Structures are given as structure tokens and as C-alpha cells.
Amino acid sequence: MEKILVDKALLNVKELQAYLGLGDTKVRQILNNPQSTFTIRIGNRLYANKKLLDVWLVKMSGSGKKVS
């Protein structure tokens, strides 16, 4: 993974795609989910707070829950 993604606090959609290895549609679905605790909207743009995203990933990976 690029060092620049590790150091960033907010990830835009393209960076989040690279970080998670997912496509544009799935990343936007996750960011638009009302239960997302890591989404930040600045104007009409979506970002993911990387620290909160990492916490969410750990929580989801052990829960067996399906991410829609």
C-alpha cells in the first residue's frame, strides 16, 4: 500500500477503493449507508475517516455481519 494512504486522515472515494480493494459502486454504497460511523460529507463529496474506518473493519471482520 502506498505510504500516502497510511498517513492520511481522510480518504476520498478513489483512495478508499484502493485501500479496501473494492469497486466504485460498493465503496459509495458503504459510504452512503446511514449506519456508517466513519463517513464524512464535505459539501457533496464523501470521505472516510481512516481511524474510524479501521475500527469499523475490525468490528465487522469478527462479527459475521453482512455488509450491504
Strands of 7-66, DSSP E: 10-11, 39-42, 45-49
| pLDDT range class, residue 7, cuts 50, 70, 90 | confident
Under 8 Å between Cβ of 10 and 48: yes
Residue 33 has pLDDT above 90, yes or no: yes
- Name 39's bridge partners: 48
pTM over 0.85: no
66 DSSP assignment: P
| pLDDT range class, residue 3, cuts 50, 70, 90 | low
One-letter amino acid at 4 equals I
Which among 41, 42, 44, 48 is positioned nearest to 22, based on CA atoms? 48
Residue 42 has pLDDT above 70, yes or no: yes
